[in-house]
Structure 1
């Protein structure tokens, strides 16, 4: 369940308070005061079996006595009374309840389930239990026991902690920060972050969303809702429990390195959210992002009347993802004309302490026009020579014709700067108390811009063929069938090779003599390693010898290795040795790449610096699958080792595309083989000539899940890809759309008749901009589906899509066939394919809006069983609607429409 009946929480017609009280100091009394005094313009009815009146309003002794239907109920009673109260309210038509009572706790899971069971027959939504309550400033609802009613604003605050919610309300009141809604989620028995993000994404009263997160319950719902919300407005999150230990029981390096907080960080980044780390920073970020400023880059120009303040800002910039702008010669020329001789002639641009207001205006104007600058920070230190407020007014006036110009301000001081800050804030110019706060705000803008770009950036086209999935599955199934959980090195490399990940040839030997024979067959220096399921890190056990040049050396080394390993690990079962050719790459870098499993978000991909000291170095980045080439590169860029990979001095750059491709293949591998719990490639050697895996370890277990069910983000559904034949005999590939299809999608639109384009988009479309194309090609497969037909040339011939509501009940469809492909049965086939998919997914209804003049589409819809209904306010549009339970599937070809 997601947004269903949440309107009863945000916009109730009537509210009931069950457990209201007149006894001072009780939750029932405080909540009654808040509800009655907030100003809600609908009925508020109190329920208490022992009271005659609450706050001079008639009280009712039971839910059954309520004279009218209430949409929202607030419950303050003891936990054991909740299930029956919820059932009684549901029977009276109540659709949402806020549970302020204490949680039944983990010791009484049955009681919690009884609450959910009581709510289910009437689809009643529950917020809590153990929550502070719910506040909505627009309709003046204060269904909480908070100590104050926040002022009205446009920021929604969702908190898992009741105590922290009250602290934030108090903090915000003292700083004049207002809220649109405040929701305390408590134990999240029903309503969770995903539900509220889905609702708030479409809420016109909310310009930014703030989350205080302790844990996520449904990762896939959170990621789907979070990505939708973050596309619409800034979402800022603070996560508690950053020090949580990683998977201590993990067998692999990857599992130990992928700590829980790193995975949460990766999830927030992937969803397009901005993560902050303390409450002060949280509201700085809200102020900054809610201002509407958006950046095109990460370069900052600084204008200041104090050289010292400029140095502080420059130092602070080193700790952010931003960098100092290099000013263009034409900018220096402009500044020479408006600044006195002897100005700093560098960035930061230092004005004299006696700089008049006009100098600020001229300086900020010149810096905003600089082609190498993406934002300007204006700093002012109070002096007895000029008026700080007049300097602020000059900046405001200079920006009067530049709404949402990328300008941040910092007026230092207290009494002297107070008026200036008020003037700046009144014009919605972000202003900060200190240079480091201002620079940190710039860093927030840069990070947010990066995350948003990553959310919408078109990845490069796939440059590799489909893997041999059957071969990899056979290896894994054989290991599980033998009762083992760890693949041998040879088996692990066979799985990698099936996905075309380069591996060094490796063979197994049962004895030292056999190892010597293999070395002779290789005919050159070899590496010798112990073979044992019980030994995780072979080098620590004395189980690795390198650069052995003769068979005799190999045999001797094997004998010594057996003795050393038996002494250090006497309980280990030894199966023999692996022998592999020594790989000599003088300038190669050792990397680690692999798979770990997170309890909340499922499988994750890890990348970083490899080698024997991998856990000591701990240079790694974590990302949620599925990956594409762009996401893989971004992941690599977040590590320290990346600086070496791009080349330096006489070292050429490594083959970064080969590394990124390997990460993408690993991402696909874990989707195809849910039995894989952990995977290490360490070391993965890379230089300018490509990559090669020297060692690999894979941990498997029997899996009841199907493929990608455990993924937090549903990946490309390969199972839906197949070839189909059109009515004219042409064979085309039918598959789900990929993010990298954006160019081909744009080409299809450009090659279509303008009238057909207008029919598809319900209006003229002169251009097909990147953001629109990205939104149509980068879909959430958990909420949407778009099927494309692709010719052998790679051209997209037609596309059909559905977008489901968060409750997965109804979906809107759209279809377009390239103009020159009409009349070949393609449109009819696409509609049947998407309707088949919708039925298999469990959707109940499909609908679409069609222009009245689009008669071919209307005829096609009617042939497929759609009913035609009025389209609402627009007389040129009608709505077609199909109840999938009534659908009769037909395979006869018909004329196409788009």
Structure 2
């Protein structure tokens, strides 16, 4: 079952030692021992307490070495400074796994961090599986193992949950108990000195007890490993996650909470997208989706039928569908004819299907039977408002009965609270997700359809362009050798040429006379750009002149540019100017680049070269290396993409040429991690070709 056989000692132990067990009810060592007994765990439980005696009618042992047999799993609830000693004793007993509940490690500062590192290295050296420290514990409902310090009694279910936050785990267990949600596995990762989220995803990939995996993330330690494991898991079952630490305040809170870096939100979102993970923004959505995925089949297409007894909620559902990409399809002629037979004359039958406010349960039943038979319908959403005529429980039963006879997913939205509660509870117990508002239901349906599309996506096409890595590497190494943190434009253009990027003919000129001679060979019109290793952005000195058409204008531009640069940045070394052939005049401008994310590696970005892209955030991101489909997707994701396709009679830009540049930059980002940031700004693209006119490479 487990890809790593050592995990059996953690997930399915034959015996458990509670190191730090206590007779006092409020002590964590007592809570864990009581939870193991209350959850029905059938294995041996060995409380370890210096006083020996009995704890909860179990024989207690003064030390680990006094145990009558080697435990598979050791749960450590001791002061921080005693944890490493307990780990050594467990290792000497050949214990396979340990859960460290104790806190006070990397989240507290340097001393705690160093002790945690020592424990992690010891566990690795002795081949022990480690969960924590600073963990709430874990649950395996199949074997009745509740090795947590939470007070709630977990229910058996098909949803696996993991989180870095132990307190959040405790709250969710309590909430899930009230909502009748069960779990197959439940992990509190804590500081992740041993098991990480990638290990958990790997373990759950072939877990037969788990249908849906959900998680709360604060940080990711090994982004590429996470990406690979998440992709493998999402190819078999849905993975839904919420990412915390997406603001500066949240990132600071994350660091103080678990001692981890929150990392780039854009990189994490790109990782989710590229691995098939469904990202949500709040805990309510996390469990709304989990419940839907666990109970209903996936919609085989985007066509949704909405049946309602009120026009207003139907309109809200229609608006939400429009925004989500779902389609309110027109019923087939046969379905329309059948609806005319069972509905009053004033009913709306064209979807949303409004069966009117006086609709009894049998009218719902007849309508749903007709809709469920329509081959064009992929999913059904039933809306009910508690009118005076509404038969709440009978309508819920009608939905349950019709859904059992159909292979299509059914969803409900019973709006209200007190009157609809019995019907809502009936639906949830029957496995039909029920929501308080249409928008939440639509989001769940859209996520399920998106997962269906992920499972049926085309085979990725990997593209590798020819490049001269030796030439590019020599330029970068030479610059690093002299302590440079950024390549000059001339050096950057050489790297671009090594990757066969389309760049205009460029000359470094040190005098106006050299500029005139070079322009004569290149051909007018030309562009002139200030060249300085100290100027990251030429705009700060207004150091660019375009469309220069005569030698006289070129000399004037030279004098003007160099004088402005010397006046505004007297500290900057001016090595001359770069003279370039002008690109196409009517081209559209785009920006392509990447930066090295500390957790996920090279993060590509794409946008139009306009202030609105930066101000409004119209930028798309993907993690390198990119497939052909991902290069196409990063372009089409921005809201301004239609401008590249041509508007108001403009010819469409050659997006294929831009895709080639994106893929070449993706390859460069993977080839040379020493390039910390790269940006092509702008890339000029018209209907014929694309041209890289300026680029910046930061190294380190």
Residue 345 of structure 1: CA displacement?
Answer: 5.1
Using the TM superposition, name which of 443-452 and 324-333 deviates more: 324-333
Residue 536 of structure 1: CA displacement?
Answer: 1.3
Q: Is the 1:269–1:451 Cα contact (8 Å) retained in structure 2? A: no
Corresponding position of 1:529: 529
1:235-246 equivalences in 2 (<5 Å): 235-244=239-248
Corresponding position of 1:279: 283
Distance in 2 between residues matched to 1:527 and 1:285, nearest whole Å = 55
Corresponding position of 2:66: 65
Name the SS for the 1:439 alignment partner. Answer: helix
Name the SS for the 1:429 alignment partner. Answer: coil
Q: Is the 1:519–1:550 Cα contact (8 Å) retained in structure 2? A: no
Distance in 2 between residues matched to 1:227 and 1:233, nearest whole Å = 10
Corresponding position of 1:254: none
Residue 92 of structure 1: CA displacement?
Answer: 1.2
Residue 67 of structure 1: CA displacement?
Answer: 0.7
Name the SS for the 2:593 alignment partner. Answer: strand
Residue 77 of structure 1: CA displacement?
Answer: 0.8
Distance in 2 between residues matched to 1:530 and 1:70, nearest whole Å = 71
- Within the candidate set 384, 389, 410, 1:385 is matched to 389
Distance in 2 between residues matched to 1:83 and 1:346, nearest whole Å = 68
Distance in 1 between residues matched to 2:521 and 2:616, nearest whole Å = 37
Using the TM superposition, name which of 465-474 and 498-507 deviates more: 465-474
Distance in 1 between residues matched to 2:428 and 2:30, nearest whole Å = 38
Residue 612 of structure 1: CA displacement?
Answer: 5.8
Residue 140 of structure 1: CA displacement?
Answer: 1.6
Q: Is the 1:155–1:206 Cα contact (8 Å) retained in structure 2? A: yes
Residues 247-306 of structure 1: CA distance to partner in whole angstroms, max 9, x if unpaired? 9xxxxxxxxxx9810101111122211111111111001011112421334343322121
User: CA 1:607–1:283 in 2, change beyond 3 Å: closer, same or farther?
Assistant: same
- Within the candidate set 173, 179, 183, 2:183 is matched to 179
- Is 1:360 the counterpart of 2:347? The answer is no
1:420-819 equivalences in 2 (<5 Å): 420-453=423-456, 456-460=457-461, 462=463, 466-481=466-481, 483-586=483-586, 588-611=587-610, 615-701=614-700
Q: Is the 1:527–1:579 Cα contact (8 Å) retained in structure 2? A: yes
Distance in 2 between residues matched to 1:317 and 1:429, nearest whole Å = 20
Corresponding position of 1:22: 23
Moved beyond 6 Å, runs of 4+ = none
User: CA 1:278–1:225 in 2, change beyond 3 Å: closer, same or farther?
Assistant: same
User: CA 1:508–1:612 in 2, change beyond 3 Å: closer, same or farther?
Assistant: farther
Which TM-score applies when normalising by structure 2? 0.92
Corresponding position of 2:195: 191
Distance in 2 between residues matched to 1:214 and 1:354, nearest whole Å = 49
User: CA 1:461–1:515 in 2, change beyond 3 Å: closer, same or farther?
Assistant: same
User: CA 1:515–1:346 in 2, change beyond 3 Å: closer, same or farther?
Assistant: farther
Name the SS for the 1:16 alignment partner. Answer: strand
Residue 429 of structure 1: CA displacement?
Answer: 2.0
Name the SS for the 1:6 alignment partner. Answer: helix
Residues 654-708 of structure 1: CA distance to partner in whole angstroms, max 9, x if unpaired? 323222222222111222233322111111122332322121111233xxxxxxx
Distance in 2 between residues matched to 1:330 and 1:545, nearest whole Å = 68
Distance in 2 between residues matched to 1:293 and 1:322, nearest whole Å = 17
User: CA 1:301–1:635 in 2, change beyond 3 Å: closer, same or farther?
Assistant: farther
- Is 1:418 the counterpart of 2:441? The answer is no
User: CA 1:219–1:435 in 2, change beyond 3 Å: closer, same or farther?
Assistant: same
Corresponding position of 2:255: none
Residue 448 of structure 1: CA displacement?
Answer: 3.0
Corresponding position of 1:220: 224
Q: Is the 1:207–1:233 Cα contact (8 Å) retained in structure 2? A: yes
Residues 427-472 of structure 1: CA distance to partner in whole angstroms, max 9, x if unpaired? 322221211221221232244345445xx5224575x853343343
User: CA 1:525–1:325 in 2, change beyond 3 Å: closer, same or farther?
Assistant: farther
C-alpha RMSD over aligned residues: 2.6
Is the helix fraction higher in 1 or 2?
2
Residue 359 of structure 1: CA displacement?
Answer: 3.9
Corresponding position of 1:409: 412
Residues 715-769 of structure 1: CA distance to partner in whole angstroms, max 9, x if unpaired? xxxxxxxxxxxxxxxxxxxxxxxxxxxxxxxxxxxxxxxxxxxxxxxxxxxxxxx
Residue 370 of structure 1: CA displacement?
Answer: 5.4
Distance in 2 between residues matched to 1:645 and 1:485, nearest whole Å = 34
Name the SS for the 1:343 alignment partner. Answer: coil
Distance in 2 between residues matched to 1:637 and 1:364, nearest whole Å = 38
Distance in 2 between residues matched to 1:502 and 1:369, nearest whole Å = 56
- Within the candidate set 226, 243, 261, 2:265 is matched to 261
User: CA 1:300–1:537 in 2, change beyond 3 Å: closer, same or farther?
Assistant: farther
Distance in 2 between residues matched to 1:113 and 1:400, nearest whole Å = 54
Query: Relative contact order: is structure 1 or structure 2 higher (C-alpha 8 Å, sep ≥ 6)?
Result: 2
Distance in 1 between residues matched to 2:334 and 2:560, nearest whole Å = 72
Which TM-score applies when normalising by structure 1? 0.72
Q: Is the 1:265–1:275 Cα contact (8 Å) retained in structure 2? A: yes
User: CA 1:574–1:323 in 2, change beyond 3 Å: closer, same or farther?
Assistant: farther
Using the TM superposition, name which of 497-506 and 211-220 deviates more: 497-506
Specify every segment of 5 or more residues in structure 2 that has no aligned partner in the other structure, as ranges.
Answer: 252-261
Residue 356 of structure 1: CA displacement?
Answer: 4.0
> How many residues align structurally?
686
Specify every segment of 5 or more residues in structure 1 that has no aligned partner in the other structure, as ranges.
Answer: 248-257, 702-898
Q: Is the 2:16–2:72 Cα contact (8 Å) retained in structure 1? A: yes
Residue 613 of structure 1: CA displacement?
Answer: 6.1
Using the TM superposition, name which of 23-32 and 574-583 deviates more: 23-32
Name the SS for the 2:606 alignment partner. Answer: strand
User: CA 1:119–1:323 in 2, change beyond 3 Å: closer, same or farther?
Assistant: same
Q: Is the 1:472–1:494 Cα contact (8 Å) retained in structure 2? A: yes
- Within the candidate set 223, 230, 233, 1:229 is matched to 233
Using the TM superposition, name which of 513-522 and 590-599 deviates more: 513-522
Q: Is the 2:296–2:410 Cα contact (8 Å) retained in structure 1? A: no
